[in-house]
Structure 1
């Protein structure tokens, strides 16, 4: 087992875990049995994100603030570059707009452990590369994910994740109060996962104009599903010129999207297994695997890769 070289990641993870739900808080939740049944899995997934994401870029105070939202599917974050202020957690789309979301041009979705910690870390890597705030959607973890994971969905997410939408109805019935996502909505989005619906809502809201979408691992599948849903409903004409950067999983996007860059670590067999083999991966960081934690060997350096893309592609990548 590779040991972490600095106390950064353990400190950030500890700050989040210590602030997680107490038994009393779980008992007082809208759906206490659901929260209790998922709590151990959510804690485990935060640990997964400590391995797969660069948690050291998150301030311990930010980690503590995110703790109750470790796996809140559809949650929104605004993540500024390092040293440019604290990240902001937004309760809904209107709150996102009030907190400055209308000024963000980049939208990120992480996906390994489905934790707000991993999402925030991935978004900060991107924010540091571009020197501007990044909006992020937490992909979340619920009963639907628990069932599909039991069937191998976490490992073979490119194939078995489709089952998630069948089990998603269980989440709809048990999660209690959720985000109010108003879409002038394509009907084919109604039964999609909450993270996909949130992404659709952001991309169709006239208050926001994103120039770049980026995801890591399973987050790219969320992006793909949202774009296909909007494309099938004829609601994506305004997105034709948007840039897309997939990291660690090359997932097919609707044909109309041409500004796509796929990034895959040179030794990332896991990402390769969950990718579309017909897609030609353009950027292959040397000796890089699936994780982006720079405290571990064989990491994919997200900030370094994104900075290089920004220098080389400029306005062609982010209009």
Structure 2
């Protein structure tokens, strides 16, 4: 997408904020008090997304469309490349499959602000890099995240997830939903967050075959947790050759996954703090920090970096 076709960050952010959850939506929700409590945090997270993600690649109409789904953890998006059609929101896996998800090769998971707006922007950068639609998982922001943040676990991803897992079952009760995976060799997902459970379901479902998993920031932790949760269950038999590209946080993956490329900006002290120090980062974009918004200085240019990786053996399945 040419720079001339970009939308301004303030315009996209305003388009999303103007379509925030209405009072009627809150009242009609399964847990109205929960939605009301989280609304302030969701508004804040859209602002974080404007800082950390390249939301100028999202059209105002698309921003308005995803606004009612901002921070709805576990939702899925189908995001085409720029100017190749509008993104689609899929509230569950069955809708994702019916909307063409079975033919998609790339799955993206964002982090930081953790809303549908930031997720869509990150996925569009990935889609533009590879020239094909990308599936995106909204990592969300629920009561467990809010309570974890209040307990001081926001800035270090490992701490954040350990703390939020303590609150996750309480979060499930307030959602009024049940997310379980059944299998002859059951494994316990009660201690994992809804975004991780949704990703486990996607990866374990034989209808989907992702050649690449990519995450930004905390999204890499969601990918790691899902792969570790599936390990030893027999449900990850076809995943060993899947490529993984981590961006802005080098997180350990199960040993069987060897097609891994870790990317981190050379100025990204925040990502380094949340990375496994034993992991060697192969790609270090110059003068880049943690954010990916190309309207801001010192950004990590996701589209450019990923396009430059396309010829690498680890991504041979996408060539």
TM bin (shorter chain): over 0.9
Change (3 A) 1:299 1:36: same
- Compute the displacement of 1:24 (Å): 3.3
Instruction: State yes or no: 1:24 paired with 2:24.
Output: yes
Aligned 8 A contact 1:210 1:242 in 2: yes
Instruction: State yes or no: 1:44 paired with 2:67.
Output: no
Change (3 A) 1:274 1:240: same
Deviations 1:118-149 (A, max 9, x none): 00000000000000000010000011001111
Instruction: State yes or no: 1:92 paired with 2:92.
Output: yes
- The aligned length equals 313
2:152 matched residue in structure 1: 152
Aligned 8 A contact 2:74 2:195 in 1: yes
- Compute the displacement of 1:176 (Å): 2.3
2:253 matched residue in structure 1: 253
What SS does the aligned partner of 2:283 have?
coil
Gaps of 5+ in 1: 1-5
CA distance in 2, matches of 1:12, 1:273: 30
CA distance in 2, matches of 1:64, 1:35: 19
Cα RMSD for the two superposed structures = 1.7
Change (3 A) 1:213 1:89: same
Deviations 1:232-289 (A, max 9, x none): 4232121010000000000000001000000000000000000000000000000000
Higher mean C-alpha deviation, range 296-305 or range 187-196? 187-196
Change (3 A) 1:9 1:278: same
Change (3 A) 1:318 1:7: closer
- Runs of 4+ residues over 3 Å off in structure 1: 180-186, 311-315
Q: How does 1:174-193 map to 2 (within 5 A)?
A: 174-177=174-177, 182-184=181-183, 186-193=186-193
Higher mean C-alpha deviation, range 153-162 or range 127-136? 153-162
1:273 matched residue in structure 2: 273
CA distance in 2, matches of 1:29, 1:151: 27
2:3 matched residue in structure 1: none
CA distance in 2, matches of 1:288, 1:279: 19
- Compute the displacement of 1:31 (Å): 1.1
Deviations 1:19-78 (A, max 9, x none): 111233322322111111100100000100010000011111111110111000000000
- Compute the displacement of 1:183 (Å): 4.7
Instruction: State yes or no: 1:229 paired with 2:229.
Output: yes
